[in-house]
Amino acid sequence: MSGHSSYEFSNPVVKWLDSRLPIVTMVKAQAMDFPTPKNLNYWWTFGGILATMLVIQLITGIVLVMHYTPHVDMAFDSVEHIRRDVNYGNIIQKLHANGASFFFIAVYIHMFRGLYYGSYKAPREVLWMIGVAIFLAMMATGFMGYVLPWGQMSFWGAKVITNLFSAIPFFGEAIVTWLWGGFSVDNATLQRFFSLHYLLPFVLCALVFLHVWALHVSGNGNPVGVEVKSGQDTVSFHPYYTMKDLFAILVFLLFLFGFVFFSPDYLGHPINYVEANPLVTPAHIVPEWYYLPFYAILRSIPDKLLGVVAMFASILILFILPWLDTSKVRSATYRPRYRQLFWILVVVCLGLGVCGAQPAEGGWVIASRILTAWYFLHFLVFLPLLGLFETPKPLPSSISESVLAKQAAKSTAAAQPAE
Amino acid sequence: MSKTMNKIVKFLTTAALATTLASGITLAAGGGNKLAKDIDFSFEGIFGKYDRAQLQRGYLVYKEVCAACHSMRLVSFRNLSQPGGPEFSEEQVKAIAAGFEVTDGPNEDGEMFQRPAVPADRFPSPFANVEAATSANGGAYPPDLSLVTKSREGWHFPWYVSPFIKLVKGGGGAEYVYSLLIGYEDPPHGEEKEGLHYNPYFSTQWLAMPNPLNEDAVEYADGTKASVDQMARDVSAFMAWASEPKMEERKRTGFFIMIYLGILSVLMFLVKKKIWRDLH
Amino acid sequence: MAGACAGGREIGVTQLHREGLIIVSTMETTDSERRDFLYIATGAAGVGFAGISVWPFIDQMNPDASVLALSSVEVDIGPIEEGQSITIKWRGNPVIIRHRTPKEIEDAKAVPVADLPDPAARNANVADSADAADANRVVDGNEKYLVMLGVCTHLGCVPIGDAGDFGGWFCPCHGSHYDTAGRIRLGPAPENLPVPPFSYLSDTKIRIG
């Protein structure tokens, strides 16, 4: 990432190493001295939280593979073997399963933070697009991972989702058979999903590396949305944001561990404790909660192909978001109309999540259709138009000015000198 | 702490029932079956533990009644003596295991043979395979009971309260087993279905399993009266343990980790505050 | 620590009335001491947490409950004819059970312990200090049956029976010769073949482990 040594090291070993491989310089420049806007709020800690979750998932995953057997006759029992017999196995397995959920909680907050503060706007388009790619990779990883315990929902989830590809004209059937390696989801499918579930996290790591690289080229955005203008606007990443991130990570882990230790099955489906049976479909097939909004979009459209297209489009649309939003102002703080739209979008996404969990009948279908329509209108119509008509509030001239103004406001409110 | 929890639970349940009844929504999303009766099992809540004596009684009921048709293939005899379970002594477990025959082999002649079970063996299944179990039971497979309290839910609430109720009360799997066992009654309107029995707690109200429990069907070693209600409670608790045998260890570890992590978070917050204060 | 802080503050308070400047410097010392303590405490708690977190991931690689439970096996040794051996699997390793001939027993007894490369019994059923005399290689004085792990003490290959220069076992991997009591006599192996813990349930039945 960084070129030659620009630091003077007193330790001869460090000096020797750094002149040959400037890794110490890189860490110092990129992870410690990196100038970071001083007004980042706690919504900005989710990047660090996500990195932590990725590490937790990798470690627990690698450990689980030491005990798991990817075979239709043994997969279910081997997961139970982990829960029942392996030392600390039930905690590690539950940490991995709940960790996936919390990974998605963090990524959704991270994404909505980006939407609220306009983090996708120039010069951070590529940073944002890599982020969307990370989200896609996460979804694929999570989906294949859910198949591995080989419960009823694993099996039928796999069957339904792979069947989406049968909607592709002409080649659909052939593609699905190819995905399955047979005429149904079976052992071949399980084994390839296992392989890919192990592979994709490393792709994720590579994407995360690119994401961080892009971040360090453009620098962090910030809640005000005004670019950094001078050293006055920034602080070094360490210790200011390392410590803040660590605190946020610990609090996040408190929630995660609360579920792992006291309600480990809350986020899962009971029916997945029944071994996969290709002859019996469960009464309600529901994906894990983090796919529900997309599942609702899929089901809201009565046409098979269009439903699949809409579902994928709802994610892919995020790739072109930087060019759909015509406003030059980044932060929703200074865009009153956009702020309203943003919160409506949050409610729409939550609503889609609720619809996705319900049986596709009656009012739920109508509700999903309205919400799906709103979702696409938001990105394709409202955002492009809003930038042309909205009058943003006046922006502060710099980050430090906004910070000082905030402090001044605070001290007048407290009717006491600040320091 | 647990009292507050109980109050919250009570409040939520009452609120949920009130809203549900007021809006006239059927309680069950599934097939109109009754909500399971809410039993205060000893293993509920953050500090809940299994009642050893109850698990031991429950094992007897399982062995004498359920095991005739239902397998519990993920549980081993050795589990009966491990900490956090019924905690039979190792000698008792050996004796229990020795009372069962398991198939082993092949021996040097290539033949499978029968031998008395040892603690390392899994509970033997009453039928050789699913097909045999299905055909012997009139086409209805008696499900394996290893995970029954985790794979069934006792109650369904409307979506706007369900997440909160399930967070504090769980899915009610053990309550479902209990309710099903005590829930057999005469079908309404004298209706009859060939080979099926009426039970309002079952998803379709008609199930192939006849009422399995009769008064004094087993004789408890600790002198507890073997009423149907008692046996149903005990065997549900036993199945809850069989589904989640590491629960006590998990909660204990969790309690310690949460306290430690809580303190660490507070310290971290103070560090963060201190560092940032110096900035201004 | 707390005492020092309190002391520091007290000086500051008394001097407050006299000289405004001094209190500032005293307060700063107190403050930085408290800060150092906070950093150290947090760092220590953090390292402690990391330590606790690492253990489950190490311990999961230890034998699990189902493996430990299988660690004993019963064998019917009645059908083994004199001069015959059987090999059974115990904890994933071959265990050799040999019904020895009188000649084999005599040969083993004839060797002075002092001549053996490994003079220790290597028998889990006798005291650790016992020597490698033939009587210490068997259990309950039952000289007929030799029970030992068929795992060469050199690098773990399975020695071949009725082979080698001493009429016992021979390891084909690197040429270790064991005698009729399973003791190392020649070759790179450092120790006698180990006798696993076992007991006689009856004259013809043993339980290993």
Contact status of C3 with chain A (Cβ, < 8 Å): no
Nearest CB to B267: which of C45, C66, C70?
C45
pLDDT on residue B7? 65
| A388 pLDDT more than 80 | yes
> What residue has token string 């049968």?
A166
Contact status of A244 with chain B (Cβ, < 8 Å): yes
Catalytic-role residue among C17, C99, C154, C174: C174
Distance of residue C30 Cα from the nearest chain A Cα, in angstroms? 18
Q: How far, in Å, CA of A402 to CA of A38, rounded?
A: 11
Structural domain includes residue A161: yes
| A222 pLDDT more than 90 | yes
Nearest CB to B267: which of C41, C65, C72?
C41
Mean pLDDT across the stretch A132-151? 97
> What residue has token string 């930087």?
A322
Distance of residue B262 Cα from the nearest chain C Cα, in angstroms? 11
Residue A50 belongs to what domain range?
41-221+235-285
**Same domain as A268, residue A365:** no
**Contact yes or no for C56 and A87 at CB 8 A:** yes
Interhelix angle A89-116/A75-84, nearest 10 degrees: 100
Q: How far, in Å, CA of A288 to CA of A283, rounded?
A: 16
Nearest to B39 by CA among B155, B162, B160: B155
pLDDT on residue C2? 38
Question: Sorting pLDDT into bands at 50, 70 and 90, what band is A407?
Answer: confident
pLDDT digits (tens, 9 = 90+) for C1-25: 333 333 334 444 444 444 444 344 4
Q: Which residues of chain B are modeled with pLDDT < 50? A: 1, 21-30
Question: Sorting pLDDT into bands at 50, 70 and 90, what band is C26?
Answer: very low
Confirm if B76 and B122 have CB atoms less than 8 A apart: yes
Pair of tokens at residue A139: 């979804």
Contact partners, residue A388, CB within 8 Å, separation at least 6:
A326
Nearest to A198 by CA among A70, A74, A374, A382: A70
Which 77-96 residues of chain A touch chain C by CB within 8 A? Answer: 81, 84-89, 91-92
| C203 pLDDT more than 80 | yes
| Residues of chain B found within 8 Å of residue C49, distances taken between Cβ atoms | 260-261, 264
**Same domain as A267, residue A120:** yes
For residue C89, the surrounding DSSP H or E stretch is strand C85-90
Helical segments of chain B, H only: 2-23, 52-64, 90-98, 130-136, 148-151, 162-169, 173-182, 228-243, 247-279
**Cis peptide bond upstream of C117, omega within 30:** no
Contact status of B261 with chain C (Cβ, < 8 Å): yes
Structural domain includes residue A91: yes
Q: How far, in Å, CA of B274 to CA of A239, rounded?
A: 11
pLDDT on residue B188? 87
**Contact yes or no for B250 and A91 at CB 8 A:** yes
Nearest CB to A240: which of B167, B255, B275?
B275
The amino acid occupying position C79 is: P
Q: How far, in Å, CA of B37 to CA of B175, rounded?
A: 6
Structural domain includes residue A106: yes
**Same domain as A316, residue A274:** no
Distance of residue C36 Cα from the nearest chain A Cα, in angstroms? 15
Contact status of B280 with chain A (Cβ, < 8 Å): yes
Alpha carbon distances (Å) from B105 to A151, A338, B71, B96, B113: 30, 72, 21, 22, 6
Q: How far, in Å, CA of B17 to CA of A308, rounded?
A: 38
| A26 pLDDT more than 80 | yes
**Same domain as A292, residue A276:** no
**Same domain as A121, residue A178:** yes
Q: How far, in Å, CA of A164 to CA of A95, rounded?
A: 30
**Same domain as A138, residue A81:** yes
**Same domain as A353, residue A381:** yes
Distance of residue B271 Cα from the nearest chain C Cα, in angstroms? 7
Q: Which domain CATH number covers A62?
A: 1.20.810.10
Of A240-244, A402-406, C10-14, give the range with the top mean pLDDT. Answer: A240-244
**Contact yes or no for C52 and B271 at CB 8 A:** no
pLDDT on residue A419? 40
| A225 pLDDT more than 60 | yes
Q: How far, in Å, CA of B133 to CA of C128, rounded?
A: 54
Instruction: Report the chain C residue with the minimal C-alpha distance to residue A91.
Output: C56
pLDDT digits (tens, 9 = 90+) for C159-173: 999 999 999 999 999
pLDDT digits (tens, 9 = 90+) for A188-202: 999 999 999 999 999
| A164 pLDDT more than 60 | yes
pTM for the whole thing? 0.89
Which DSSP category does A151 fall into? B
Structural domain includes residue A296: yes
**Contact yes or no for C60 and A89 at CB 8 A:** yes
**Same domain as A80, residue A97:** yes
Backbone phi, psi, residue C131, to 5°: -85, 175
Q: How far, in Å, CA of C201 to CA of C74, rounded?
A: 9
Q: How far, in Å, CA of B35 to CA of B154, rounded?
A: 6
**Same domain as A202, residue A258:** yes
The amino acid occupying position C67 is: V
Alpha carbon distances (Å) from C125 to A90, A359, A393: 37, 66, 87
**Contact yes or no for B253 and A357 at CB 8 A:** no
Nearest to A357 by CA among A287, A297, A267: A287
CA atoms within 13 A on the CB side of A96: 25
Interhelix angle A46-65/A187-218, nearest 10 degrees: 150
| Residues of chain B found within 8 Å of residue C48, distances taken between Cβ atoms | 260
Contact partners, residue A177, CB within 8 Å, separation at least 6:
A183
pLDDT digits (tens, 9 = 90+) for A271-329: 999 999 999 999 888 999 999 999 999 999 999 999 999 999 999 999 999 999 999 99
**Same domain as A349, residue A267:** no
Q: How far, in Å, CA of A91 to CA of A104, rounded?
A: 20
Question: Sorting pLDDT into bands at 50, 70 and 90, what band is C43?
Answer: very high
C99 labelled catalytic: no
> Distance between the two ends of chain A, CA-based, in angstroms?
40
Nearest to C151 by CA among C207, C70, C96: C96
| A378 pLDDT more than 90 | yes
Contact partners, residue A93, CB within 8 Å, separation at least 6:
A60, A64, A79, A82, A83
Contact status of A369 with chain C (Cβ, < 8 Å): no
| A333 pLDDT more than 90 | yes
Question: Rounded to the nearest 10 degrees, how much is the dihedral formed by the CA atoms of A313, A318, A320, A322?
Answer: 160
Contact partners, residue A310, CB within 8 Å, separation at least 6:
A297, A298, A300, A301, A372, A376
Residues of chain A above pLDDT 70, percent: 97
Distance of residue A172 Cα from the nearest chain B Cα, in angstroms? 34
CATH H superfamily, domain B2-75+123-245 = Cytochrome c-like domain (1.10.760.10)
Nearest to B121 by CA among B149, B98, B145: B98
Pairing, β A234-236 against β B101-104:
unpaired
Q: By three-state DSSP, how is residue C207 classified?
A: strand
**Same domain as A200, residue A100:** yes
Q: How far, in Å, CA of C157 to CA of C151, rounded?
A: 6
Q: How far, in Å, CA of C21 to CA of B151, rounded?
A: 72
Pair of tokens at residue B149: 């309290």
Q: How far, in Å, CA of A341 to CA of A59, rounded?
A: 39
Contact partners, residue A415, CB within 8 Å, separation at least 6:
none
Confirm if C143 and C100 have CB atoms less than 8 A apart: yes
pLDDT on residue A258? 96
Indicate the number of domains in chain A.
Answer: 2
| Residues of chain A found within 8 Å of residue C59, distances taken between Cβ atoms | 87-88
Give the Cβ contact number of residue A127 at 10 Å: 23
Distance of residue B266 Cα from the nearest chain C Cα, in angstroms? 9
Which DSSP category does A88 fall into? T
| Residues of chain C found within 8 Å of residue A66, distances taken between Cβ atoms | 60-61
Q: How far, in Å, CA of B202 to CA of C71, rounded?
A: 43
| Residues of chain C found within 8 Å of residue A92, distances taken between Cβ atoms | 56-57, 60
DSSP string, B198-209: E-TTSTTSEESS
Q: Which domain CATH number covers A311?
A: 1.10.287.980
ipTM comes to 0.91
Cβ pairs B/C, distance under 8 A: 34
Q: By three-state DSSP, how is residue A291 classified?
A: helix
**Same domain as A190, residue A163:** yes
pLDDT digits (tens, 9 = 90+) for A74-126: 999 999 999 999 999 999 999 999 999 999 999 999 999 999 999 999 999 99
Alpha carbon distances (Å) from C129 to C120, C122, C124, C153: 7, 9, 11, 19
Backbone phi, psi, residue A156, to 5°: -75, -30
Which one of B81, B90, B256, B271 makes the best mutation probe of the C interface by having the most chain C beta carbons within 10 Å? B271
Instruction: Report the chain B residue with the minimal C-alpha distance to residue C69.
Output: B120
